[in-house]
Amino acid sequence: MDLKFARADVESKPKKADLAKLEAAAEKDDSVIFYFDRDNSHKDLLSLQDHFEEKGKSFYMTEVKYGLSDNEYMYQVHIIN
């Protein structure tokens, strides 16, 4: 599973997300929100959902539009213990 965080700038490349770091952040706080880039496949995000739900966490994912173009969106993932 190769996930990428949302871009901070339109011209920059997205940074890769490490599953171990995501798990550590989710364990540290009761509620954590991540923003993932549109380049991620929906299948990978669903695999991430399965991973956290198997650990007993609630997982909510939404598509966030930040412009008028069809390709101006990112995924918001909210993980709750």
Predicted confidence at residue 1, as pLDDT, reads 78
Residue with tokens 């991620």: 40
Say what the pLDDT of residue 11 is.
Answer: 85
- One-letter amino acid at 59 equals F
Q: Which residue has the tokens 């380049």?
A: 39
For the cut 90, the answer to whether the pLDDT of residue 33 exceeds it is: yes
pTM: 0.90
For residue 24, name the pLDDT band (cuts at 50, 70, 90).
Answer: very high
Residue 20, pLDDT score: 93
What does the alpha-carbon distance between residue 67 and residue 43 come to, in Å, rounded to a whole number? 24
